[in-house]
Amino acid sequence: MDQLEKRLNQLKNSYDELPTTDQTDQIMKRIKETEIQKKKKSWKTQLPYVASFMGVLLIGSLLVAQLLSSQNNTTGEGTNPEEETVASAVTTEQLEEKHQQLVSFYNEKKLALEQISVINIPVAEDLAHITEAKALIDQVGSPSYKKYQNEADLEKSFNEYTEFVRTRFQLPKDDLAAINESSDVVMILSKQQNLLSKFVDKRVALVKSGALNEVLSTDTSEALKQLNGGLDIDNPEVLEFATAVIENGYYFTQDEEGQFEVSINYELLLNEYGSLLDETEKQFVELMTDRIAVDHYILVTWDELAERLVQLEELQNNYQGTSNAIENEYQAVLYMYLNGGDNRPAFINGKLDPQLQESYENFLENNKDTATYSIVNEYYTLLKEENFSEQAVVDFNY
């Protein structure tokens, strides 16, 4: 059994054990002890910013830790897992009634999200943070999920489940309006990342329909001011869209070809909410403001990509929240470091770029204490054995 398969089995075991809520501390301990997961990805077929399936496997463990940390006082610390089979103090009918109420609430929120006209979300469950809410609902419907002490405990627990679902359907603009010291800012960023493609799709639709033509035909700098400031936009559909972009923490930028794009406004988080961020959140947002790539174009050196990997690994180790945003960014940078970009391929005429080879060697010399070391070392070893031929790593998975 290879290392990736072992990790998948470990994660599956953690996911399967979720119903025993008194094991929350044990679950969290296993998560924290697990190194950054190697995600099975063939570099010939995968794109760097595709959402990670491995992140979905972690959802159950992470969201239970967030939701149920406060419930240890009612269920007891250190309870033997076998004791979870003891009959609950509430009836099956009472549990089913509360669960159906939660399902109805979820369906109402799902329908409302899919009917928002300013952005196109035909299937809400395509969004990772909505999948998290669905995963919770599937879990809490089982009688074995938790031994509820009494009706009050049942009510309290389902209020917490409902709040979790509510926040997952909440748009970033509402998250930003309610942000405070206890907010998980990385989770807000994750939600923005998940929704970004929907805003981009809406922008494309407005261009195709001709609704943006009036704005796009003006001077570029003036057009950006119009879009980002909601100034002098006569078309109500365009005005509504531009307003939604800004309110949800995005802004309009211009790509290499002069086309308008929608991007996450990381500077907004630093400028408006910087004092509310903890050190890990602040460092992550600061990293994201320093762009290292645009689409599939790498803007920095190989060594700078390597340095970003180490920084992201450290942030992931220090992060205490439930979002997979840091992990997703880590995977995107790792992909570029192993495979290159459109403007800077890793292989030239079938051979590893000598500058990238040198970067790998520098990385392996100076970063032996990182989890990334094992990935780069395995990749480099395969290449070295075949005289750095591209064919040596055609089937490399990480």
Read off the amino acid at residue 14: S
Express each pLDDT in 52-78 by its tens digit. 433 443 444 444 444 444 444 444 444
* CA 196 – CA 264 distance, rounded (Å): 8
Q: What is the pLDDT of residue 61?
A: 44
Q: Which residue has the tokens 């320093």?
A: 290
Instruction: Report whether 363 contacts 383 (CB < 8 A).
Output: no
Q: Quote the crossing angle between the two packed helices 185-209 and 266-273, to the nearest 10°.
A: 130
Q: What is the pLDDT of residue 87?
A: 55
Quote the tokens at residue 237. 């559909």
Question: 71: left (phi > 0), else alpha (psi -120 to 50), else beta?
Answer: alpha
- C-alpha distances (whole Å) from 207 to each of 30, 38, 212 are 48, 39, 5
Helix (H, G, I), strand (E, B) or coil at 172: helix
Burial 218-232 (b: 16+ CB within 10 A, else e): eeeeebbebbbebee
Helix (H, G, I), strand (E, B) or coil at 48: coil
Express each pLDDT in 85-110 by its tens digit. 345 689 999 999 999 999 999 999 99
Residues 6+ positions from 217 with CB-CB distance below 8 Å:
none
Q: What is the pLDDT of residue 54?
A: 39
Q: Which of 292, 285, 286, 327 is nearest to 306 (CA)?
A: 292
Instruction: Report whether 276 contacts 181 (CB < 8 A).
Output: yes
* CA 23 – CA 82 distance, rounded (Å): 11
Whole-prediction pTM: 0.72
* CA 195 – CA 155 distance, rounded (Å): 32
* CA 26 – CA 301 distance, rounded (Å): 41
Helix (H, G, I), strand (E, B) or coil at 2: coil
Q: Which residue has the tokens 């645009």?
A: 294
Low-confidence ranges of the chain (pLDDT < 70): 1-88, 256-258
Give Cα 333 distance to the centre of its chain: 14
* CA 357 – CA 366 distance, rounded (Å): 14
Q: What is the pLDDT of residue 256?
A: 66
Helix (H, G, I), strand (E, B) or coil at 319: coil
Quote the tokens at residue 23. 């094991």
Q: What is the pLDDT of residue 45?
A: 34
Q: What is the pLDDT of residue 254?
A: 80
